[in-house]
Structures are given as structure tokens and as C-alpha cells.
Amino acid sequence: MSEIDLRSDTVTKPSDEMREAMATAPVGDDVYAEDPTINRLQELAAELLGFEAGLFVPSGTMGNQVAIWSHTEAGEEVILEGDSHIYIYELATMSAFSGVMPRTIKTDDGVLPVEEVKNSIHPDKYYLPDTGLIALENSHNNQGGRVYPFEEMRELLDYARSVNIPVHLDGARVFNASDASGVPVDELVDGFDSVMFCLSKGLGAPVGSVLVGSEEFIENALVGRKRFGGGMRQAGIIAAAGVYALENNVERLAEDHENARRLAEALKKMGFMITPEPTETNIFFANTTEIGVDAEELAGELKEDGIVIGPRDKENIRFVTHLDVNEEDIDVTIDAIESYLTS
């Protein structure tokens, strides 16, 4: 029996059909822009999101960091949310590689209040740093896959445009956000200056992300990608998985959302505290404080039944559904947790 792995949607393995597409992909040297499969993926991504151009990058982190490098000058500030992936999990790369300083706004829901953004931008004085970029995240990983409210996002984008500050979207899971909100993905990202989305999460590809923006932005980002060590050669073999993912695995994300919702509801009945409530996409957090269960111990027990979960500490677990977890796996997980609690 294969494991049921609920730690992250990054754990998906390429299907036989995806592997077939990879094995038969035409390839060329991408540093010469001669890989037909990469070119196709970049065009497809740009078209789907409504941008002029795209750039295939090895990871979401590189996509975000190349975007920051491309938008900013050393010595500037980047405004972003205090629990965002770029701030928490990207090893201060914006400071190390781009020479910019994060200016974080801590929130309870991942949503940047426009007033606070305004207050975070310094008056135009030679002795105060300029704001080079604002970065948002949708869906928000550390907020349990919450979707950025559409109207608030539009308000922020309009404000940023009025003061001429570019806005980047960490859209690692933007297709999940689109499905959950019912807003077509190109409308959801309209008004951003750049968007990074991941192929290697819920879309099920083994590796890769795409950065999209204007032609001018992508030309600059191409330099950034090379500098960051992301210039690839016959990488059409992996880009093919991305093309396959975009053509086959977007619509089914709704199943992951349904599975997450069902699992979260069952855990709630068992006494776990769930965030967000209700679950919005394929991620949620379950807290064990009220039922007095040690999350790490629970993880150890479940592992013996072939169920892998990701406790963050003794009381908090992040659950993530994806295309390698089906309805039956959710039933098996619910039963296993229930029997642990009642034993």
C-alpha cells in the first residue's frame, strides 16, 4: 500500500501519462532559447494568466527572488505580509542577493490593509529608503490556504499603481485560489506587475515554476535567472510535465478542496480546532490543545499505518491535500485518527 502523505502538495509524484509526456518532449538548449517545450510552457503560462511573457524557473523560491531582483534596486524596501513565504521561508534572500530590506506588516489573515501599506511608504526624503516593491501571496500558505479577498486586492493594486510601485504576486497556488473564489485566473492576477506560480504543488509536476510579466520585465528576469544559477539547458524534459499539468490538472483542484473540507470537518467533530474555518482551498491547520493530544505523537502513530502528517509543533498540524490523495485516502485518514483518539 502506498503512503497517504498529507504534509504538502509538493510531495506528488508524476503520473505515468506525465512521465510519458516528459520522455517524448522535444528539447533544445534553453540558454539559447532553443527548447521548444520550454518555449511552449512559457507561452502557455503567459496566455493563461494574461501576461505578455513567461519564464520557466526551477523553483517557486527562485521565481519570487528573481522577481524581487528584477523589480528593485539595492537599498530599497519591499513591503510584504509578516507570515508570507517570501519573508519566512526564503532565507532572507532578498537582502542577501538583491540588497533590499523587507518591511513587513503583521496581520491575522494574510491581507495587507491598504492604510498600513500607505503608512509603510516613507515620505520622499533623500535620507529615507524608497519602496521598490509590494508582494502579496494568494493563496496564503501560513494562513492555511486562505484566498486573498478580491476587492481588497483590487484596492491595493489601484493604490500601488497610483504611487507607481510595482506589485508582485507569490501565486504558488494561484490556481487553487482561482478555483476556490470562482474568479478566472487571468482576472485574479490582473493588475499585478509579475506573478510566480508553481507547477510542482497541486498541479502535480515534479519540479518547476513560471514567472510571468511584461516582455520588458521578463527580459530583465532572464538576466536575474542566469545570475541566480537558474539557466537551464535541455530542461524541456521537465517543462513537459508543466505543460501536461496545465492542460490536465487544473480543473481537478476542486477535488483537493473538497477532500480538505471533508477532512477538516471530520477533525472538527473530533475536537480539533481548525483554521481557517471553513477551509477554503487544499490547506488547513488543526490544533490539538482542546483535546490534549500530542501532535507529534499522533504523527508517529499514523506513520505506522502509512499516513504521513506534518506537525509543526506539539499542538499544530498542517494538512495539505493534493492529486495523490483521493476520497478513500481521506476516509482511511479519518478512521485512523478517530481510532487513535478513542484507543
| In the complex, least distance from residue 58 CB atom to ligand TLP, rounded to whole angstroms | 8
Nearer to ligand TLP, 121 or 140 (CB): 140
Which residues sit at the interface with ligand TLP, rule CB under 6 A?
8, 10, 59-61, 64, 85, 89, 137, 141, 170, 172, 198, 200, 209
**Is residue 144 within 8 Å of residue 284, measured between CB atoms?**
yes
Nearer to ligand TLP, 176 or 220 (CB): 176
| In the complex, least distance from residue 106 CB atom to ligand TLP, rounded to whole angstroms | 17
Task: Say how far apart CA 237 and CA 249 lie, in whole Å.
Answer: 18
User: What SS3 state is found at 268?
Assistant: helix
Cell numbers placing 305: 499505518
Q: Name the residue with the smallest CB distance to ligand TLP.
A: 60
- Name the DSSP letter for residue 140: B
Cell numbers placing 218: 521578463
| In the complex, least distance from residue 34 CB atom to ligand TLP, rounded to whole angstroms | 25
Alpha-carbon separation of residue 195 from 160, 223, 240, 259 (angstroms) = 15, 17, 20, 27
**Is residue 262 within 8 Å of residue 284, measured between CB atoms?**
no
Nearer to ligand TLP, 46 or 199 (CB): 199
| In the complex, least distance from residue 141 CB atom to ligand TLP, rounded to whole angstroms | 4
The total number of residues shown for the chain amounts to 343
| In the complex, least distance from residue 216 CB atom to ligand TLP, rounded to whole angstroms | 24
Nearer to ligand TLP, 59 or 107 (CB): 59
Nearer to ligand TLP, 89 or 300 (CB): 89
| In the complex, least distance from residue 61 CB atom to ligand TLP, rounded to whole angstroms | 3
Nearer to ligand TLP, 58 or 121 (CB): 58
User: What SS3 state is found at 263?
Assistant: helix
By C-alpha distance, which of 290, 291, 309 is closest to 299?
A: 309
Nearer to ligand TLP, 121 or 242 (CB): 242
Asked if omega into 70 is within 30° of 0 (cis), the reply is no
| In the complex, least distance from residue 91 CB atom to ligand TLP, rounded to whole angstroms | 11
Task: Say how far apart CA 339 and CA 198 lie, in whole Å.
Answer: 36
Cα atoms in the 13 Å half-sphere on the side-chain side of 49: 29
